[in-house]
Structure 1
Amino acid sequence: MKKSDERRVDVERASDSDADVDWLSFGKGDILQLEHVNPVLNAKMHLVNNAIDEIGFTTYQWKLFVLNGFGYAVDSLILLIQGIIAGQAGLEFNPGYKNGLTMAAYVGMLVGALFWGMTADIIGRKFAFNVSLMLCSIFAIVAGASPNWTVLGVFVCLCSFGAGGNLVLDTAVFLEYLPSKDQWLLTLMAAWWGIGQLIAGFFAWAFLPNYSKDCTTVENCTYANNKGWRYVWYASGSLVFVMSILRITVIRLKETPKFLVGEGRDAECVATLQIIAQKYNRPCSLTLVQMEACGVVDPGRGSKSKWGFGEIGIHLKGLYATRRIGISTSLIWLSWTLIGLAYPLYNVFLPAYLKSRGAQLGGQSSYVLWRNYTLVNFSSIWGPILAGYMCSTRLGRKNTMVIGALITMSFFFAYTQVRTAVQDLVFSCLINFCLNIYYGTLYAYTPEVLPSAHRGTGNGIAIAWNRVMGIVSAVVATVADTSTPVPIYICAALYILMAAVAAVFPFEPYGKRSS
């Protein structure tokens, strides 16, 4: 018998006198049941999963669905807002580097994803969950008062630092409270991304045509006649501020049970689950005796200080604890890198390419332009809704991503034949709908298959790779020839590669439980 098997048997025997053996039945339904190198932690995660399933879905999870969804909405809102206002702000400030705001936003989100993701694994999910959104709101409001392009870029970066980091926590916190049969809701939650885009479109539609209509050239654009973009920031920041207050007041988030288990804080884990069960009148058979019967979990501190580099190294090693987990981690990061390059690049190159091919989009007024922008973003809400349904069927997560990527690729190729404004609007809506089938599922799949103790780090690095490619797309847009069709076909081909990568992911979460 292998040493790991002997240890597992010892854990099971240790529980015989204190708890039902069924509570420690390794096997049934846990995604990483045979992958984790720590059998004691594996046993305790199994117990926690049983307890969460026993409690079931309550109002607590519904509150998390909405409050965590705010993070999705804010991430897309901030990312789109900087792009929406860049043109008008540029007319007022006449910057030397017009793509500076895009780079500032992606740099902020890159650093935010890494910082808050690793923070979540070191000191817990609760602090980052409550603080990051508040920081985002403050800097978003201040951005509206920026006196020049450089200062605006700094505040966009700081605002994105909070928004990008918050997104890492949204999926992790929600997942770690979800019963296994409801994990598909993690995919559905990506619909909030589209809601954020829709809000951005509404703000642009409301303020830019009405408060910046007289600002059309650098020569006639002043602070007095170009306040629309500032109002967009003020409105966005105020909305995010309200969201951050609701997070603190509507639900007093407790540290997630799975983080507590990984830290060896069994008593707090049991207490948290028991409190939720009592509040919503649900059963919860988990006891501290059962947890302690599994043994003691060593958090495996890589250094004396929680903030040492050794601690970060422990979490990185945990993402490669076994061969399959390592392959899974690498493929997930590759997928985020590909989507991070393909979609921004397509948006960068498409307008110039269509113009070079003779597309007659017509002279659209500012009102019509932002109306269409809002309609396109509205269509993106429904992709994750369909993806959520698909994920809850035998198609599973992997096949949903494959289908979403291939359909998106098809419409991308077809889009190169657009010649009229109506065709442009229809195909834009279809692409946004189909793209979010893949994107929404990838957002959910990533934390589902990552080990709980290292989920924040793995998720943060995945999203960080996505942001790196966003920076690359901004650089390419500045120096490349946007009239050639080659980049369009490359971007579409990347979706074929994304589908292939999704098909060979080693884990399928459908019908199983996350660690």
Structure 2
Amino acid sequence: MAPTSPTDGEKKIDDRLADVERVSQDVILSAEKTDILQLEHTDPVLNAKMHLVNNAIDEIGFTGYQIKLFILNGFGYAVDSLILLIQSIIAGQAALEFNPSFSRGLTIAAYVGMLVGALFWGLTADIIGRKFAFNFSLMICSIFAIVAGSSPNWIVLGVFVALSAFGGGGNLVLDTAVFLEFLPSKDQWLLTLMAAWWGIGQLIAGLFAWAFIPRFSCSDPTVVPDAAPCTYSNNKGWRYVWFASGALVFIMSIARITIIRLKETPKFLVGEGRDEECVETLQFIAKKYNRPCSLTIEDMRACGSIYSSRRDSGAHAKSRFSFGEVGVHLKGLYSTRRIGISTSLIWFSWTLIGLAYPLYNVFLPSYLESRGAEFGETSAYITWRNYTLVNTCGIFGPVLAGYMCATRLGRKYTMVVGALVTMAFFFAYTQVRSQAQNLAFTCVVNFCLNIYYGTLYAYTPEVLPSAHRGTGNGIAIGWNRVMGIMSAVVATFADTKTPVPIYICAALYVVMAAVAAVFPFEPYGRRSS
């Protein structure tokens, strides 16, 4: 047998010393604040550096920088809900003007745009960084939203709706990741509270509809037999809604670029091996807000190199713009058994909520009508006023969820409570028989639903590995959009007057609660990795 070469022997000794050092480091870190994925050991060097970065962020604390991020990232949440609701609000009036053969085409267009946007911007975030999408996604959304108001026919309108949704579809992927990666650990519950912006977006959609549609819309000939035909000149309300929404989103996009001048997130930079830029970013924030930050480049270098600790080239394939790059990020989401289980359960939860909520909105009105619900004669003004009230209630669900997440309930059991309470009101809603009952139950359901929804939005990026956070988050939201497309197809061809879909939707929330209870990671009291 040939003798072992000195090089091989030295390598074995170095590997053993690295193992000893890693164990020693784990013992030290176990006495300090725990990072969520710290014990997964996917990359000891990266874990050590993430721990130092988390220590630095905690040392700096909560500053005006995070306040700006809360508002500017919240714009993305608001725009996502705004675009989805605007297309549903204006679809009826636009259809009266264009007489389409497929009335739910705009819904499918919006969800297709959101699906492609979530996947595109999610992968972009992991490949070239969070900053690019943060600066440009809202700009793209605003341009096509404004142009949508000038659409000459149904097909062109659908194209512009899809393109606008593509720009806005990545915001839920990026906004949570960007905000999370600058947050001190004690303030991570604010990620749940940020979902209140989703309700604000819905409220804005309702206000625009309330302001323009009753005053600048033609009448439906099936309701008013002697109504004049709907044309461009007498049916501009839905166009004004698009113009106003696009202008607002444009202002938001300009604010993102000018107010904060976002720096790349420290955790993305660490995963890239750009330690100097990471330290510079944290030192910049500390200096600007007169806070301490003891992290140095020497501290980071002392941990070693993430590239020498892996067989592959860090968190990327040899060519970043290739299918191999996608494979690297997918593999990273299943790098250990627990991370893989967590990823799968998160995607399953997004699939469930993506199916349950749209179907509920689609089937419930027809079901109630078939069971004799008498809502009375209401004007368009009253209809959109009630719509605005309902969406206002949705703002406060994430506020309660944020408080619950900061208690021992944690994220997991906040979702369990939110899902079960929503399920109970879904079942009760089938007994609604009057306008007042309809308004009250709709408000309560919207409030309770956003407890679960807002927490799931926050939980998803918290437990995903930083280097693959955009991809994992994008695919999760992508599954949600796929189910939205399915709901539109089902609503077109299925019998909407049977009670079965309503009970199925309610039962799905029981499944969501069960899934939340068995999530392998609980972020309460821990720090995102």
Q: Distance in 2 between matches of 1:212 and 1:37?
A: 58
Aligned to 2:50: 45
In structure 2, the CA distance between the partners of 1:144 and 1:504, relative to structure 1 (3 Å rule), is same
Q: Deviations over 1:47-93 (max 9, x none)?
A: 00000000000000000000000000000000000000000000000
Whether 1:494 aligns to 2:505 is: no
Q: Secondary structure at the match of 1:202?
A: helix
Tell me the amino acid that sits aligned with residue 7 of structure 1: A
Q: Secondary structure at the match of 1:450?
A: coil
Correspondence list, 1:249-288, <5 A: 249-288=258-297
- Give the deviation of 1:304 after TM superposition: 2.9
Q: Distance in 1 between matches of 2:207 and 2:199?
A: 12
Correspondence list, 1:196-345, <5 A: 196-214=201-219, 216=221, 220-298=229-307, 299-300=313-314, 303-345=317-359
In structure 2, the CA distance between the partners of 1:342 and 1:334, relative to structure 1 (3 Å rule), is same
Q: Secondary structure at the match of 2:472?
A: helix
Say which is worse superposed, 335-344 or 29-38, in terms of deviation: 29-38
Q: Distance in 1 between matches of 2:376 and 2:340?
A: 51
Aligned to 1:100: 105
Give the RMSD, CA atoms, in angstroms. Answer: 1.8
Whether 1:115 aligns to 2:120 is: yes
- Match among 485, 489, 492 for residue 499 of structure 2: 485
Q: Secondary structure at the match of 1:47?
A: helix
In structure 2, the CA distance between the partners of 1:28 and 1:3, relative to structure 1 (3 Å rule), is farther
In structure 2, the CA distance between the partners of 1:26 and 1:451, relative to structure 1 (3 Å rule), is farther
- Match among 138, 144, 166 for residue 143 of structure 2: 138
Tell me the amino acid that sits aligned with residue 247 of structure 2: S
Q: Distance in 2 between matches of 1:232 and 1:119?
A: 31
Aligned to 1:7: 18
- Give the deviation of 1:364 after TM superposition: 1.2
Q: Distance in 2 between matches of 1:362 and 1:464?
A: 39
Partners of 1:114 and 1:461 within 8 A in 2 = yes
- Give the deviation of 1:7 after TM superposition: 2.8
Tell me the amino acid that sits aligned with residue 61 of structure 1: Q
In structure 2, the CA distance between the partners of 1:49 and 1:26, relative to structure 1 (3 Å rule), is farther
Q: Deviations over 1:453-499 (max 9, x none)?
A: 00000000000000000000000000000010000000000000000
Tell me the amino acid that sits aligned with residue 166 of structure 1: N
Partners of 1:302 and 1:309 within 8 A in 2 = no
Q: Secondary structure at the match of 1:30?
A: coil
Aligned to 2:8: none
Tell me the amino acid that sits aligned with residue 305 of structure 2: V
Say which is worse superposed, 35-44 or 407-416, in terms of deviation: 35-44
- Give the deviation of 1:102 after TM superposition: 0.2
Q: Deviations over 1:274-315 (max 9, x none)?
A: 000000000000000000000001243654321111111111
- Give the deviation of 1:46 after TM superposition: 0.2
Partners of 1:11 and 1:295 within 8 A in 2 = no
Aligned to 2:412: 398
Partners of 2:266 and 2:281 within 8 A in 1 = yes
Aligned to 2:310: none
Q: Secondary structure at the match of 1:141?
A: helix
Q: Distance in 2 between matches of 1:90 and 1:159?
A: 19
Partners of 2:389 and 2:443 within 8 A in 1 = yes
Correspondence list, 1:386-425, <5 A: 386-425=400-439
Aligned to 1:467: 481
Partners of 1:128 and 1:169 within 8 A in 2 = yes
Aligned to 2:91: 86
Q: Distance in 2 between matches of 1:186 and 1:2?
A: 44
Correspondence list, 1:124-163, <5 A: 124-163=129-168
Q: Distance in 1 between matches of 2:347 and 2:234?
A: 45
Tell me the amino acid that sits aligned with residue 304 of structure 1: K
Partners of 1:11 and 1:293 within 8 A in 2 = no
Q: Deviations over 1:335-373 (max 9, x none)?
A: 000000000001000000000000001121100000000
Q: Distance in 2 between matches of 1:244 and 1:193?
A: 17
Aligned to 1:444: 458
Partners of 1:113 and 1:464 within 8 A in 2 = yes
TM-score using structure 1 length: 0.96
Q: Deviations over 1:409-454 (max 9, x none)?
A: 0000000000000000000000000000000000000000000000
Q: Distance in 1 between matches of 2:348 and 2:18?
A: 35
Partners of 2:122 and 2:470 within 8 A in 1 = yes
Q: Distance in 1 between matches of 2:350 and 2:185?
A: 25
Q: Distance in 2 between matches of 1:26 and 1:124?
A: 33
Q: Distance in 2 between matches of 1:2 and 1:432?
A: 60
Q: Secondary structure at the match of 2:422?
A: helix
- Give the deviation of 1:214 after TM superposition: 4.3
In structure 2, the CA distance between the partners of 1:8 and 1:384, relative to structure 1 (3 Å rule), is farther
Q: Distance in 2 between matches of 1:410 and 1:487?
A: 15
Partners of 2:272 and 2:315 within 8 A in 1 = no
- Percent identity of equivalent pairs: 78
Q: Secondary structure at the match of 1:380?
A: helix
Q: Deviations over 1:133-177 (max 9, x none)?
A: 100000000000000000000000000001111221000000000
Q: Distance in 2 between matches of 1:50 and 1:485?
A: 53
Aligned to 1:18: none
Q: Deviations over 1:372-404 (max 9, x none)?
A: 000000000000000000000111000100000
Q: Distance in 1 between matches of 2:219 and 2:488?
A: 28
How many residue pairs get aligned? The number is 508
Partners of 1:384 and 1:441 within 8 A in 2 = yes
Q: Distance in 2 between matches of 1:465 and 1:162?
A: 18
Partners of 1:95 and 1:149 within 8 A in 2 = yes
List alignment gaps of at least 5 residues for structure 2. Answer: 1-11, 308-312
Aligned to 1:17: none
In structure 2, the CA distance between the partners of 1:234 and 1:4, relative to structure 1 (3 Å rule), is farther
- Match among 425, 431, 445 for residue 445 of structure 2: 431
Q: Distance in 2 between matches of 1:273 and 1:8?
A: 30
Whether 1:183 aligns to 2:197 is: no
Q: Distance in 1 between matches of 2:217 and 2:16?
A: 69
Partners of 1:401 and 1:499 within 8 A in 2 = yes
TM-score using structure 2 length: 0.93
Q: Deviations over 1:1-56 (max 9, x none)?
A: 99998535436889xxxxxx97x668632111111410000000000000000000
Partners of 1:101 and 1:156 within 8 A in 2 = yes
Q: Secondary structure at the match of 1:455?
A: helix
